[in-house]
Structures are given as C-alpha cells and as structure tokens.
C-alpha cells in the first residue's frame, strides 16, 4: 500500500466517518447533547454496548475529527483533546501517578508544568526530580523504585536544549516506566516521539497546531488502551474538554501546519545566525546551533530546529527589558507559534512561578529572552531586532 505523506495527512482525514452530508469542510457539531432513538438505545450507549454519541463532554464528532487527525500524525493509537495544554498535561500526570509516587523531569519545564508538579507534591506527596538526561547513567541514577513516569520537554522551554528521546525511552523501558513528551515546540511535522520509543505525547495545540493565536487547546496521543483509560477517568470526570468550535479552528490550522513550520524554521535559523554575530548578544540557544552533540540529536529526531530562539544579552534584567521595550514590529506576548513574531522575558513572565534558584539551575537567567519567530519577511524581523540592539 502506498504510504501517505505527512503533508497530505494534515489536509485529508482518511477516516472521515463523521461527515454524512459530504461537506468538504468538517462540520461544527455545536451541541451539548445527542438524542436517542429509544430508551434502550440510550441504555446500550451508556453501557458501552453500542457506538454513538451521548453528551459532548464524552465525545463530539467535530472534536473526534481533530483527535483522529492528531493520532494519525503522531502515529499513535488514539488522540484526546482538552481545553488547554495544561489540561492535557494535568490529565496525563494524574492518570500515571498515585499518592507517594515519583516523577523524573527534564531539567527545564514550562512554568505552569512546574507549578502543577509542586501542587502534586504538596497535596499528594508525589515527588519529582530534575535530570539533565545527557547520559543513560545519569537517568538511571535519578530513577527510583517509586518512579511512575518520565516527563520530557524537548526542546526545553525556554533554553531550547534538546533531549535524546531514543536514549530516554530505551533507559525507561528497562524499568517499564512510561515516557511522556511535551512536543509543543515541534509538532508532529518536525518530531514524532512515539516513533522514537516514547509512550505518550502532549501538545499545547494553542501554539503551532492552531497557528493563528485564536484558540486555546491541548491534545494527548498514545496507545489506544491508555487513551481509553484517560478518556474514562481524567477527561470524563475532571471535564477539561475541548469545544467543537475550537476543534474546528484546529482542524483548519492543521491544513497549513507544514507550510507554516517550514517558514517558522527557516526564519528562526536565519535570525539565530544573525544574532550570534552581533556584539551585544552573549549567547544564542537554538536546536543544533553551534553545539556538535546537540546537532547530532537534532539530526536524528527533528526535521528542523523549529521556530523558537532564546538568547542572552550582555547585561541583566534591565538590559533585557530595555531591549524588549524598544521593539516596534515584534509583539511582547508569552505564547508562541502565531503568525506574528512574539517576544517575552521568561524569568519574569512564563517562568516567574519557578523560584530564582531553580530558574538559574535550569539556565533561565534574567538576561535570557525568548523569541517565537513568525511568518513575516525575515529582513523585517531582523531590522526590528537590529535597531533595538543598536540603541544605547
């Protein structure tokens, strides 16, 4: 059978079974509930004896289309959509742990993921340890007999460090520990963790999957058995579900994701190369950029370096804030993956909840700035950065 390319899968859903009308565009089933032909049919559906929709918290045709597309792109058994990226992360970590368990984390996490882990520790005694995951031996030493899962960001937000997912999954499999990967920065177009041996993938679909800054959403992809468990517990009972209209926006965004990711990546690579040559820039962090070890990992598991750059200026917080405030075209905002280029100061914005000592250990210094490079002409993006760097 001929293999369908990733770009085609983003546009076509080969399992488009929810569209009885023949509409080319996925219909929006904007309904909270579904009627039954009889009381017996309702009973059979609630008992799981018959397929069909019941209530949109338990499943909706538009949302199901998005979930099916994401599962196909990531190469997983099933996808589940959530109301935000953090709803997706929370659902997975709650499903995989119980009171007294332990989580191994990459040495750097999104600020709200860090906040969730602290809450789980304070309320339920679920502890966590950070690990650079640079070697198999270091990871083995961090794993304990209470480790319930390994949670990895790669590239790490915001330091852009890349983790070798094949090494992590191989090491975790020795102890039968599931590996969860936040794949938000890459999308399945640039990186597919399940194909590298990992068990669960989460995304903030708000970012590159939606791609236009007009939706907040999350999605999880994994084995069919784990996704069924997640659906029947965390999704159904906690209820952080995605709305049909938001699912429709995501399906629309997915159709151009490969085009956008190619442009984001090309622009980011060029901006990184120009930044490193500027005398006021101390260091540039971009996957595979001027780091032989990281380059080898990037070439093995990523299509390109993606659309996000971090860099440090000569100076501290004041210099960083002054630089940001002098920008004109580039918008000060904490998200990423929009058509517009966005810039933010992680130490006081996305990672402000992380204590200073821990931030510094993660490499999130007060001089660090993160840019989500947009789809504008690269020379226009650079001109705005250059004019701000050039002012005293």
Which residues in the chain land under pLDDT 70? 1-2, 14-20, 290, 292, 392
**Sequence-separated (6 or more) residues with CB below 8 Å from residue 272:** 284, 286, 289, 305, 309, 311
Rounded-to-integer distance, Cα 134 and Cα 356, Å: 23
Q: Is 118 a catalytic residue?
A: no
Query: For residue 186, what are its two tokens?
Result: 């890459």
Which of the residues 69, 78, 161, 207 is marked catalytic? 207
| 12, two tokens | 């076509």
Which string of DSSP letters, residue by residue, matches 126-178? -EEEEE---SHHHHHHH--TTEEEEEEESSPTTT-----HHHHHHHHHHTT--
Give me 201's structure tokens.
């993938």
Single out the catalytic residue among 9, 44, 57, 282.
Answer: 57
Q: Which CATH number fits domain 15-254: 3.40.640.10, 3.40.50.10420, 3.40.50.720, 3.90.1150.10?
A: 3.40.640.10
Look at residue 56 in the predicted model and tell me its pLDDT: 92
Query: Please, what CATH class does the domain formed by 257-390 belong to?
Result: alpha beta
- Stated as kind and residue range, the H or E segment containing 124 is helix 111-124
Tokens (6 digits) for 262: 């190619």
What sign results for the dihedral spanned by CA atoms 30, 33, 39, 40? positive
Give the per-residue pLDDT at 290: 66
Catalytic: 207? yes
Could you tell me whether strands 78-82 and 218-222 are parallel, antiparallel, or unpaired per DSSP bridges? antiparallel
Stretch (H or E) spanning 283: strand 281-285
Q: If you write DSSP's letter for every residue of 164-231 in order, what string do you get?
A: -HHHHHHHHHHTT--EEEE-TTTHHHH--GGGGT-SEEEEETTTTTT-SS----EEEEE-HHHHHHHI
Catalytic residue among 29, 45, 161, 182: 182
Catalytic residue among 53, 110, 189, 285: 110
pLDDT attached to residue 236: 87
Question: Between β-strands 200-204 and 78-82, what pairing exists: parallel, antiparallel or unpaired?
Answer: unpaired
End-to-end CA distance of the chain: 62
- The verdict on whether 260 is a catalytic residue reads no
229 is annotated as an active-site residue: no
Q: Domain limits of the chain?
A: 15-254, 257-390
């Amino acid at each position: 059978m001929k293999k369908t390319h990733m770009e085609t899968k983003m546009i076509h859903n080969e399992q488009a079974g929810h569209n009885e009308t023949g509409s080319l565009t996925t219909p929006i089933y904007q309904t909270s509930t579904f009627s039954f032909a009889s009381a017996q049919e309702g009973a059979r559906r609630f008992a799981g004896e018959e397929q069909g929709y019941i209530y949109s918290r338990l499943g909706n045709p538009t949302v199901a289309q998005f979930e099916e597309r994401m599962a196909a792109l990531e190469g997983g058994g099933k996808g589940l959509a959530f109301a935000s990226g953090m709803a997706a992360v929370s659902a997975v970590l709650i499903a995989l742990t119980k009171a007294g368990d332990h989580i191994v984390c990459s040495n750097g996490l999104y600020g709200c993921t860090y906040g969730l882990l602290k809450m789980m520790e304070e309320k339920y005694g679920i502890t966590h340890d950070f690990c650079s995951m640079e070697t198999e031996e270091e990871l083995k030493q961090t794993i304990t007999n209470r480790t319930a899962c390994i949670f990895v960001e790669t590239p790490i937000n915001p330091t852009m460090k890349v983790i070798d997912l094949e090494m992590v999954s191989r090491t975790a499999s020795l102890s039968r520990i599931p590996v969860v990967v936040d794949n938000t920065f890459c999308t399945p177009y640039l990186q597919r963790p399940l194909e590298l041996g990992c068990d669960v993938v989460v995304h903030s679909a708000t970012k590159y999957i939606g791609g236009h800054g007009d939706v907040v959403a999350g999605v999880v992809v994994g084995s069919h058995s784990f996704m069924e468990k997640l659906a029947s517990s965390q999704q159904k009972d906690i209820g952080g579900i995605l709305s049909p209209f938001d699912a429709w926006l995501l399906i629309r965004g997915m159709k151009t994701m490969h085009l956008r990711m190619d442009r984001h990546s090309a622009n980011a690579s060029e901006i990184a190369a120009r930044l490193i040559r500027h005398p006021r820039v101390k260091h540039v962090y971009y996957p595979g950029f001027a780091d032989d070890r990281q380059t080898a990992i990037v070439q093995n598991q990523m299509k390109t370096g993606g659309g996000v750059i971090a860099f440090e200026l000569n100076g501290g917080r004041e210099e960083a804030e002054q630089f940001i405030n002098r920008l004109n075209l580039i918008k000060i905002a904490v998200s990423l993956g929009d058509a517009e280029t966005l810039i933010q100061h992680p130490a006081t914005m996305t990672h402000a909840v992380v204590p200073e000592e821990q931030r510094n250990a993660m490499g999130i210094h007060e001089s660090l700035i993160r840019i989500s490079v947009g789809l504008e002409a690269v020379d226009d993006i650079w001109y705005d950065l250059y004019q701000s760097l050039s002012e005293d």
